[in-house]
Amino acid sequence: MKTIYVLVFFCFLLFLVAEARTTNQTDCKTFNCGNLDFDFPFFSTGMPSRCGLFKMNCSDHEVLEIQLAENGSWYKVTSVSQALTITITDPRLNRSLETGTCSDLSSFSLPDSPWLNMTTLYKCNNSRNKNGFAYANCGGGGSSLYYSNLGESHNETGCSAFKTPQSWVIPRNKNLSNVNATFSLHLNLPGSCYRCHRRGGECKMNEGEFYCVEALIDPKSHDPKSHDPKRQEKLKLGLGVALTAVVIIIMVTIIIVRANNARKSDWNGENVEAVAISKFCLGNGTRNIGKEQCEFNLLKSKLSLQEVRFVSE
């Protein structure tokens, strides 16, 4: 009976270990917003930030909002395509463009995210007529021009860079650009990012190099090699679970085999006893009382099996 308790205890332990391992992944689940299902690389407010790269606020089911960077500005989502192209509106720029008070486009800038395809524009003080992007709508201030193809010369003083949607830099005609508060961005994630997430890790980019912060690591670490010892730790944990399982299987096997043996030997014992008594009563030990009576007497008496055996030999 004690072994049963030990077994139950081990099973409980195994369950606890397994539970602890999966908790981090179960925090991140598919969420529904406006009849659409989202999962990685999107995550919902209320989930930990390791669940994805783009936080979504879905508390108002009419208006879905998205953050392009951690703690960044919120953008209204118009659509999300299967090919991971999101169409969003910057409400601040929308307001500026609608009211016609947009005088300085450089107050607009998308976060410099490694996961988004964007282009760079340069705001320059000098009014040299370069080929490129010169924005009409926001020309109110009169001093700033916006260039897309400065090349090496962007380093010249008087120019500053900012990130914009790719669609902006294709002018519709010579005087008018495509600046629009509603624009599309293509999410560009390496496949290893999805694998990293499935392992419970966090996808990071440092100086153009992708790396995975494993589940059991300090999220602040930016050294791509630093996940190795932690990975071993995880491996050890897995090994521990496997070992526990093996021990339990062995224990169960031993208990079953023992129980079987015990039953078999009980049966054998009875059998040997009966055979011994029968043998004894068939021989000259009957003393005219008959075989049945002899057997009955022997069984009734407190003769142990050993004694009967001894007698019968």
Ligand X SMILES: *[C@@H]1O[C@H](CO)[C@@H](O)[C@H](O)[C@H]1NC(C)=O
Tell me which residues touch ligand X (CB under 6 A). Answer: 20-21, 24, 45, 50, 57, 59-60, 70-71, 76, 89, 91, 94, 98, 117, 123, 125, 155, 158, 160, 173-175, 180, 182, 186, 188, 215-216, 219
Contacts of 239 (CB under 8 A, 6+ apart): none
Nearer to ligand X, 121 or 276 (CB): 121
DSSP 103: -
Cα-Cα-Cα-Cα torsion 297, 300, 305, 307, nearest 10 degrees, comes to -60
| Nearest distance, CB of residue 74 and ligand X, angstroms | 7
Q: Say if residue 297 is exposed, middle or buried (CB neighbours under 10 Å; 0-12, 13-18, 19+).
A: middle
| Nearest distance, CB of residue 4 and ligand X, angstroms | 30
| Nearest distance, CB of residue 59 and ligand X, angstroms | 4
Neighbour tally for 64: CB within 10 Å: 22
Nearer to ligand X, 130 or 186 (CB): 186
| Nearest distance, CB of residue 262 and ligand X, angstroms | 42
Nearer to ligand X, 199 or 279 (CB): 199
Q: Which residue has the tokens 């129980």?
A: 259
| Nearest distance, CB of residue 253 and ligand X, angstroms | 31
Nearer to ligand X, 121 or 294 (CB): 121
Contacts of 122 (CB under 8 A, 6+ apart): 146, 147, 148, 150, 154, 159, 160, 161, 162
Nearer to ligand X, 188 or 253 (CB): 188
Neighbour tally for 215: CB within 10 Å: 20
| Nearest distance, CB of residue 246 and ligand X, angstroms | 22
Nearer to ligand X, 21 or 231 (CB): 21
CA dihedral for 279, 285, 288, 294, sign (positive or negative) = negative
